[in-house]
């Protein structure tokens, strides 16, 4: 079941390709500057036109762009040819464009972080020292990174590299892994003060959890290593492996089929902008 054979596809795409090459040939020197400012002007014009679009056309535009964004990946899969077709060749470039545009969103999170901390520093509210420390840390590692890469003098970039490494391995890595490791303390205190076996359900869950926890570590294997040969299947590591690969696998797959259909439903609702209703209208 094929719509267009491979050479028909390539015939069409080569014609487009020639047209494309002429318009986007590389420019250098002053020509480059002209083309870049030209592109900037065209972009600014587009933004201005977008701003003056009447409200009743806004929702259709957002719906159309959302739909088109997904169309390329959907068609790339749904159009079936025996060998290959240009949409697949287009994906690496499509990925690069998404990567670049997406990276510009990095400063989004920073804008309100800067607003909050700048306000704290200006108004000297309680704990403004912390906001000041935020700025120092922010610019210190950024400047060390850039100086490390772009400094001319070997010694300057060498010492910047050492400072950058101290900031990264001495502060950023330990802070983030320590922050995340705190949850182990909360689990321990919850284990003693909050995990209650109140019903058969929680009993079943706790027994399974204990077997699997013991089955993965040497202590568990040692506990049941005394069992004679023919009882090997009662050894903790084997019971834990069976639990994980048989009942747990079946149950995870049951939940997965629910998530699979759920993901398809959510994807459809987003792709076709079907999310409507009292709360969603206000936000999306």
Partner 1 sequence: MTETMAGWLAHNSTSIIIWCAALCTFAIYSVLYAENRFFRLFEHIYIGLASGYGVYITWSEILGPKWWIPMIYKGQWYWMFAAVAGSMFYFMYSNRHVWISRIIFGFFMGVTAGGMFRGFYEVYFPQIGSSMKPLAPGGHWGWGTVSAVVFYALMFSAMTYFFFSFEHKHPVVATTAKAGRWFLMIGFGAIFGATVMGRLTLLIGRLNFLINTWAPQAESDTRRIWLALVAVATWPRFLWLRVSLAVLAALLVVLLVIYFRRRQDLKQKATGTQD
Partner 2 sequence: MDILIKLQKIDRRVIYALVIVVLMVPLLLQPKGHPKLVTPEVHHAFDVIDSVPKDKMVILSSFWGPSTESENGPQTAALMRHMLMKGIRFGIVSWDQAGSQITYNIGKSLEQELHRRYGVRYGVDWVHFGYKLQNEAALRGIGTDLPTTMEREKEGKLVSTLPVMRGIKDFHNIGAVVEITASGTLEGTMTYTTQPNGLKLLYCPTAVMSVEAYRYLDSGQVKGMLNSAVGAAQYETLIGMSNVTTQASVTTWTLSTAHIFIIVLILLGNLGYFASKKAARRQGGEASND
Partner 3 sequence: MGDITPYANSAVYVVEGLLVFFILFKIISARRGRELFIRRIPGLSSLDEAVGRATEMGKPMLFVPGIGGLTVVGLQAMAILQHVVQRAAKFLTRVIVPNIDPIMFTISEEISKEAYTSEGVPEQFDPEDIRFLSSDQFALAAGVVGIMHRERTATVLYFGEFFAESLILAENGQAVGAIQIAGTPSITQVPFFLATCDYTIIGDEYFAVSAYLSRQPTLLGSLVGQDYGKLLMMGVIVVGAILVTLQATLPHLYGLAWLNEHFLKFFPRPPGQ
Q: Which residues would be at the binding site for partner 3 (CB under 8 A)?
A: 1, 77-81, 88, 183, 186-187, 189-190, 193-196, 198, 201-202, 205-206, 209, 255, 257-262, 264-266, 268-269, 272, 274-280, 282-283
Binding residue for partner 2, selected from 55, 80, 112, 177, defined by CB under 8 A: 177
Contact code string over 154-183 relative to partner 1, x by CB under 8 A: -xx-xx--xx-xxxxxxxxxxxxxxxxxxx
Query: Any contact of residue 251 with partner 1 (CB under 8 A)?
Result: yes
Query: Any contact of residue 134 with partner 2 (CB under 8 A)?
Result: no
DSSP string, 59-81: HHHHHHHHHHHHHHHHHHHHS--
Binding residue for partner 1, selected from 19, 22, 93, 100, defined by CB under 8 A: 100
Nearest residue (CB) to partner 3, 22 versus 194: 194
Query: Any contact of residue 99 with partner 2 (CB under 8 A)?
Result: yes
Tokens 């294997």 found at: 221
Query: Any contact of residue 196 with partner 2 (CB under 8 A)?
Result: yes
Using CA atoms of 221, 223, 228, 232 in order, give the dihedral in degrees to the nearest 10: -40
Give how far the C-alpha of residue 36 lies from the chain's centroid of Cα atoms, to the nearest Å.
31
Contacting range for partner 2; rule: CB under 8 A; set: 8-16, 46-54, 86-94, 109-117: 86-94
Nearest residue (CB) to partner 2, 114 versus 167: 167
Residues 6+ apart with CB under 8 A from 157: 147, 148, 149, 151
Rg, C-alpha atoms of the chain: 30
Residues 6+ apart with CB under 8 A from 280: none
Length of the chain: 284
In 3D space, the residue among 252, 225, 256 whose CA is nearest the CA of residue 238 turns out to be 225
Burial of 216 by CB count in 10 Å (0-12 exposed, 13-18 middle, 19+ buried)?
middle
Footprint on this chain of partner 2 (rule: CB under 8 A) = 73, 88-89, 91-96, 98-99, 102-103, 168-169, 172-173, 176-177, 179-181, 184-185, 187-189, 191-197, 206, 210, 213-214, 216-221, 237, 241, 244-245, 248-249, 252-253, 256
């Amino acid at each position: 079941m094929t719509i267009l054979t491979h050479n028909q596809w390539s015939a069409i795409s080569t014609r487009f390709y020639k047209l494309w090459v002429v318009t986007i040939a590389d420019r250098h020197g002053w020509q480059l500057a002209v083309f870049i400012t030209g592109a900037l002007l065209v972009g600014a014009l587009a933004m201005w036109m977008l701003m003056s679009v009447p409200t009743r056309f806004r929702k259709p535009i957002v719906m159309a762009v959302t739909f088109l964004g997904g169309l390329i990946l959907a068609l790339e899969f749904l159009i079936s040819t025996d060998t290959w077709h240009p949409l697949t060749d287009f994906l690496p470039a499509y990925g690069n464009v998404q990567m670049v545009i997406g990276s510009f969103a990095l400063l989004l999170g920073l804008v309100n972080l800067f607003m909050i901390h700048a306000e704290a520093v200006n108004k000297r509210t309680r704990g403004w020292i912390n906001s000041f420390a935020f700025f120092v840390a922010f610019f210190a590692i950024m400047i060390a990174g850039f100086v490390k890469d772009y400094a001319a003098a070997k010694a300057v970039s060498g010492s910047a590299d050492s400072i950058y490494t101290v900031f990264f391995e001495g502060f950023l890595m330990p802070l983030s892994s320590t922050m995340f490791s705190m949850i182990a303390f909360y689990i321990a205190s919850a284990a003693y003060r909050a995990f209650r076996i109140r019903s058969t359900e929680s009993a079943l869950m706790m027994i399974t959890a204990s077997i699997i926890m013991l089955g993965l570590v040497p202590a568990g294997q040692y506990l049941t290593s005394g069992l004679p040969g023919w009882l090997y299947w009662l050894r903790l590591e084997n019971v834990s492996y069976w639990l994980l690969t048989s009942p747990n696998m079946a149950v995870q797959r049951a939940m997965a089929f629910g998530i699979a259909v759920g993901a398809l439903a959510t994807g459809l609702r987003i792709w076709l902008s079907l999310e409507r209703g009292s709360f969603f209208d206000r936000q999306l």
